[in-house]
Amino acid sequence: MKVSISINGENVSRDVEPRQLLVHYIRETPGLTGTHWGCDTSNCGACVVLMDGKPVKSCTILAVMSEGHEIATVESLEVDGELDPIQAGFHEQHALHCGFCTPGMMMTARALLDENPDPTDHEIRTAISGGICRCTGYKNIVAAVRWAADHQAAAKQEA
């Protein structure tokens, strides 16, 4: 079955088995390996991408279900050598650690800040609660999202 999906603004097409998961399509077709394949049960959140701006776990969505939708992966955050505030926040607040959960956490955080540019710590924790991080205890991730929100707001004021 031929599937065409817009991934990070580029149309990607290929024949797939109808049961192929979106996470595998993303990793194998355009070769975007930033989206991690973790638990295969939708519990860990490492595979989170944005579908039409909303976070989804790509291990629970078939590639064929994504046709006609815009998919954004962690690779879409950096633009022209400029890190997204989320990426910069993870770096500045030491929220990277092993990095396995990082892409999913970043995409979840990007969706949160797109919807709510000034979330409370409770709202940040609620948003990222669908992801499992075994390294940071979430404190650094919450600090990274807060840093991103603050710096994103400051950048908009300067513009």
- The full set of domain ranges for the chain reads 2-76, 85-158
Question: Tokens in use for 147?
Answer: 């840093």
pLDDT at residue 155 greater than cutoff 80: no
Can you name the CATH fold of 85-158? DNA polymerase; domain 1 (1.10.150)
What is residue 128's predicted lDDT score, i.e. its pLDDT? 96
Angle between helices 85-92 and 102-115 (to 10 degrees): 130
Tens-digit pLDDT profile for residues 140-154: 999 999 999 999 977
Do 106 and 96 touch, CB atoms closer than 8 A?
Answer: no
- Rounded Cα gap, residues 24 and 78, in angstroms: 22
Cβ count within 10 A of residue 126: 12
pLDDT band at 59 (very low <50, low <70, confident <90, very high): very high
pLDDT at residue 134 greater than cutoff 90: no
pLDDT band at 135 (very low <50, low <70, confident <90, very high): confident
User: The domain 2-76: what is its CATH number?
Assistant: 3.10.20.30
What is residue 126's predicted lDDT score, i.e. its pLDDT? 97
What is residue 159's predicted lDDT score, i.e. its pLDDT? 63
